[in-house]
Amino acid sequence: MDQILVEHNPSGAKLEVMGVYDWPIWTKEVSTFPWSYDQQETCYLLEGDVTVTPEGGEPVRFGAGDLVIFPKGMRCTWEIHEAVRKHYQFG
């Protein structure tokens, strides 16, 4: 997998099975910054609106209620349009 996977509005049952609500929370204000993933990250957005553009790839937009998987090794730019609050897990 070398692309960002977005699942819009996953079921509460799926989130519960994954243990999403026990994951740590990360928050970030409106901003733009480069980022790279040294391991896969799975996150679930509680709040926010974001566009992430992989190096050499197409922009992907997602927001509150989306479950997103970022592949290990990806370099990208985050553009946060509305402040983000998300659960996340690496590996």
Q: How confident is the model at residue 2 (pLDDT cuts 50, 70, 90)?
A: confident
Q: Is 37 exposed, middle or buried (0-12, 13-18, 19+ CB in 10 A)?
A: middle
Per-residue pLDDT reduced to its tens digit, 5-29: 999 999 999 999 999 999 999 999 9
DSSP E strand stretches across the chain = 5-8, 25-28, 31-36, 41-54, 60-63, 66-70, 75-90
DSSP state of 12: H
Per-residue pLDDT reduced to its tens digit, 33-91: 999 999 999 999 999 999 999 999 999 999 999 999 999 999 999 999 999 999 999 99
Q: Is the CB of residue 76 less than 8 Å from the CB of residue 51?
A: no
Domain ranges for the chain: 5-90
How is domain 5-90 classified at the architecture level of CATH?
Answer: Sandwich (2.60)
Give the span between the Cα atoms of 48 and 33, in whole angstroms. Answer: 16
